[in-house]
Amino acid sequence: MMTLDTNAKISILSMRDTGPAPEAALVRDIIKRGLIVAPILIGVCAIVWGANGAYSCAYAFAIVFCNFGLAAALVAYSARISYAFMMASMLFGYLLRLALVAVAVFVVRNLTWVELLPLGLTIIFAHLGLLFWELRYVSLSLAFPGLKPKPSKSLPSKQTQQTESSTQ
């Protein structure tokens, strides 16, 4: 029979995550919300800067969506290996993703269809706006990591229960 050493120290850094990955659901939700807002901002950029502004805004949204997708993929993949690897991949992954955004802008900066002001503003405000918008829908509970669960229609509401108890 094998005995377990109860005095053994287990490091949190050597542990790994084997549960479901809520990052994918969060990024799908962020991109869904971004696709709602993108046509409006592309239209505004088209009015202010013309067709080139619209193209630049659309390109910026593509950069933002790819950045969020890559971040979620890094977390989901690295958490399955170890928490230490996940922390390192988030630190250096942020630097890598920042460099990729810079390269994506650098590559197109001199093309005729690029307007740098709407491109830069869209990248900045789309990142911040979509993250703050998503904050309203994120569950900060370990019971429901990721998005907040939707209320069930089969359970009676608190108001209905109070009304029923007061009539009895």
Answer for the pair 56, 161: CB distance below 8 angstroms, yes or no.
no
Structure tokens at 41: 């901002």
More confident residue, 103 or 26: 103
CB atoms within 10 A of CB 53: 22
Using CA atoms, how far residue 107 sits from 31, 111, 113, 114, in Å, is 24, 9, 12, 11
Q: What is the mean pLDDT of the chain?
A: 83
What would the pLDDT profile of 76-91 be if each residue is shown by its tens digit?
888 888 888 888 888 9
Sequence ranges of the domains in the chain:
20-167
Pull the structure tokens for residue 108.
């197109």
pLDDT digits (tens, 9 = 90+) for 113-148: 999 999 999 999 999 999 998 888 776 665 555 666
